[in-house]
């Protein structure tokens, strides 16, 4: 999976990332308006703004469930810090997690606390809010990751983690694995959700988009791998299942931390790290929607931040209820692929595996085929003709064909 993920980043996500940031800086507005500005400026239909709308919709839906899960990290900071998991067995900690999921009131409370923190920071603006927070959070996150890697080397099973992450098994390579890897590459880097287009709108003209995009993709990949080296040694040292999903983070790892020396400190640090990662991710997802609300309705930034974040919180109730009062509800039971999916699983699958890759496909078609290469070259600032041709070829052919083939083989 890691190898497929790296290939997806290099040959699919990165070329589209460069194009998305370029559209943002070119259009200098929120994603829908930026797409419309660039399209009309190049003699194309304003209908291309639908790409911006589609990306923002995907980001919005992701935020409605991502914030709920982020709320779990907040409560687990306090649970682990209070020593709730010390000496507890798997059954006891699993029961505590299940009790959390079964309580709409608790989930709503912690989701509300997380979204309140997001609102307060986002309302302060790009420089005073997001930029200042990220300057603190991102270095802190990376330092915490390195501390956790050191802890994994001492207390965990690092050889097993390296084997799990980097051994190549051709028999495990299926279309579904490729689709999930591409979806993860898009989600991790933030491609095709409008957030990079939104950030691109603030990018100075003298900054190289290509260089910035490579740095973003490289650093994101490094952090993802380091995160794996921080988590999986603990997983394998305690005989845990790495494919457990949320159960791994909120049941198995607390069991592991509760049974080792220093687990109180390092377990709490782990959930703080998880909270930091979630917070910075939500900033990028929500910012384009705030910018659009300010442009469209003429609202002050604080009002736009409050309305957008409150609506995300309200729609997040659907995800909250899917773990308890709606747990038996299968909205798309008549559709074979989604017959066993609840509300949360449907949102997760559609956004990460359908909407984001489809938005990326449309972006690649727009920049690669509907804009003159000379205009694109001038905007992305790739002055080396050979490098530009390689990137443009990847954008025009490799990325779109890869996405179409994946859809064809899976859908």
| pTM for the full predicted model | 0.89
Residue 290, classified by CB atoms within 10 Å of its CB into exposed (0-12), middle (13-18) or buried (19+), is: buried
Mean pLDDT of 82-97: 90
Query: How far apart are the two ends of the chain, measured CA to CA in Å?
Result: 20
Contact 341, 330 (CB under 8 A): yes
The pLDDT value given to residue 184: 80
Contact 308, 302 (CB under 8 A): no
Average pLDDT score, the chain? 90
Residue-wise pLDDT for 17-42, tens only, equals 999 999 999 999 999 999 999 999 99
Q: Which residue has the tokens 């899976």?
A: 410
Confidence class of residue 410 from pLDDT cuts 50, 70 and 90? low
The pLDDT value given to residue 67: 96
Residue-wise pLDDT for 334-371, tens only, equals 998 899 999 999 999 898 878 888 899 999 999 999 99
Q: Into how many domains does the chain fold?
A: 1
Instruction: Give the list of residues 6+ apart from residue 170 with CB closer than 8 angstroms, or none.
Output: none
The pLDDT value given to residue 337: 86
Higher pLDDT, 183 or 311: 311
Confidence class of residue 251 from pLDDT cuts 50, 70 and 90? confident
Confidence class of residue 409 from pLDDT cuts 50, 70 and 90? low
The pLDDT value given to residue 411: 63
Q: Whole-angstrom Cα distance, residue 75 to residue 96?
A: 12
Q: Whole-angstrom Cα distance, residue 130 to residue 142?
A: 18
**Of the ranges 25-34, 42-51, 282-291, which one carries the lowest mean pLDDT score?**
282-291
Residue 187 has pLDDT above 80, yes or no: no
Residue 147 has pLDDT above 90, yes or no: no
Residue 256 has pLDDT above 70, yes or no: yes
Higher pLDDT, 137 or 337: 337
Give the CATH number, domain containing residue 205: 1.20.1740
Residue 16 has pLDDT above 70, yes or no: yes
Residue-wise pLDDT for 298-336, tens only, equals 999 999 999 999 999 999 999 999 999 999 999 999 998
Mean pLDDT of 283-311: 93
Residue 106 has pLDDT above 70, yes or no: yes
Residue ranges making up the domain that contains 318: 2-410
The pLDDT value given to residue 186: 80
Buried b (16+ CB within 10 A) or exposed e, 266-277: bbbbbbbbbbbb
* Most confident stretch, 46-55, 234-243, 244-253, 396-405: 46-55
The pLDDT value given to residue 84: 92
């Amino acid at each position: 999976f890691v190898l497929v993920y790296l290939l997806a980043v290099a040959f699919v996500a990165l070329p589209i990332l460069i194009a998305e940031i370029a559209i943002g800086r070119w259009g200098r507005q929120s994603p829908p308006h930026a797409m419309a500005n660039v399209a009309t400026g190049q003699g194309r239909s304003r209908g291309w703004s639908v790409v911006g709308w589609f990306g923002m919709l995907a980001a919005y839906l992701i935020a409605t469930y991502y914030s709920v899960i982020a709320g779990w990290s907040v409560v687990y900071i306090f649970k682990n810090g209070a020593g709730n998991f010390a000496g507890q067995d798997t059954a006891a900690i699993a029961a505590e997690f299940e009790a959390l999921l079964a309580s709409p009131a608790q989930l709503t409370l912690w989701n509300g606390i997380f979204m309140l923190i997001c609102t307060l920071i986002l309302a302060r603006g790009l420089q005073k809010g997001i930029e200042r927070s990220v300057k603190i959070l991102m270095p802190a996150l990376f330092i915490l990751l390195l501390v956790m890697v050191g802890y994994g080397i001492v207390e965990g099973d690092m050889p097993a983690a390296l084997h799990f992450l980097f051994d190549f098994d051709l028999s495990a390579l299926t279309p579904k694995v490729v689709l999930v890897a591409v979806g993860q590459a898009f989600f991790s880097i933030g491609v095709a959700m409008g957030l990079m287009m939104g950030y691109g709108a603030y990018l100075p003209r003298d900054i190289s988009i290509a260089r910035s995009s490579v740095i973003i993709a490289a650093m994101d990949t490094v952090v993802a791998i380091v995160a794996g080296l921080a988590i999986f040694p603990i997983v394998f040292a305690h005989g845990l299942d790495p494919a457990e999903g949320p159960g791994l983070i909120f049941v198995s790892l607390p069991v592991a931390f509760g049974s080792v020396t220093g687990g109180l400190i390092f377990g709490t640090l782990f959930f703080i790290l998880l909270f930091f990662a979630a917070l910075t991710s939500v900033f990028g997802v929500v910012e384009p929607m705030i910018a659009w609300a300010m442009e469209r309705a003429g609202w002050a930034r604080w009002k736009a931040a409050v309305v957008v974040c409150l609506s995300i919180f309200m729609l997040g109730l659907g995800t909250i209820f899917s773990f308890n009062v709606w747990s038996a509800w299968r909205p798309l039971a008549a559709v074979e692929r989604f017959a066993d999916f609840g509300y949360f699983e449907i949102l997760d699958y559609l956004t990460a595996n359908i909407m984001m890759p489809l938005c990326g496909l449309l972006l690649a078609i727009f920049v690669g085929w509907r804009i003159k290469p000379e205009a694109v070259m001038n905007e992305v600032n790739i002055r080396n003709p050979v490098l530009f041709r390689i990137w443009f070829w990847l954008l025009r052919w490799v990325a779109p064909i890869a996405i179409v083939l994946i859809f064809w083989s899976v859908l």
